[in-house]
Amino acid sequence: MRRTALKRKASSSGVRKRRKPDDKRVISDRLDRMASQWCRSIGQCELQGWWGVRCTPQLHTHHLSRRTCRANRWYESNLKCLCAAHHDFVHKRPWLETLWVNQFWPGLWEELWERERANNGKSVIDYEELEAEWNAKEPRGE
């Protein structure tokens, strides 16, 4: 009898092996949580009152530079605290993000692009050292 993909799937043991996460991934997840918590510790949306969008109480961490760029992923200047409404608004209109960043933080795009270019989108990171730095950070309430 010929085994089709459906039959192969049905005839497998049914138990999937869980991939054991490597240390980098575990620490990376922890860094994401710490960075997000630090970013949201400001307690309010950084775009409050802009573009006629009404702020919502739920706060999100927005990365200006893509998260896959390790050089900028946990860089403080790359993290902005937005309410859920503004976060959705910015993701649906990326061209406005450029205007917003240039208005409030002139030169920030160039700084982020330079960091990314210098590392060619990849960087060698000492995760333990970075985790220690994030553990020592004070909340950013303003």
- Write down the domain spans for the chain: 22-132
pLDDT digits (tens, 9 = 90+) for 81-99: 999 999 999 889 888 888 8
Residue 27, pLDDT score: 83
What residues contact 42, with CB distance under 8 A and at least 6 apart?
81, 140, 141, 142
Q: What's the rounded mean pLDDT across residues 90-109?
A: 87
Query: Could you tell me which of 85, 82, 91, 100 has the C-alpha nearest to residue 44?
Result: 82
Structure-block tokens of residue 62: 């927005």
Task: Look up residue 43 and give its two tokens.
Answer: 């307690």
Full-model pTM: 0.74
- The answer to whether residues 108 and 101 touch, using CB atoms and an 8 Å cutoff, is yes
pLDDT band at 50 (very low <50, low <70, confident <90, very high): confident
pLDDT value of position 87? 92
Task: Say if CB 45 and CB 55 are below 8 A apart.
Answer: yes
Helix (H, G, I), strand (E, B) or coil at 115: helix
Structure tokens at 136: 């020592």
Give the whole-angstrom CA distance, residue 21 versus residue 7: 30
pLDDT above 90 coverage of the chain, percent: 20
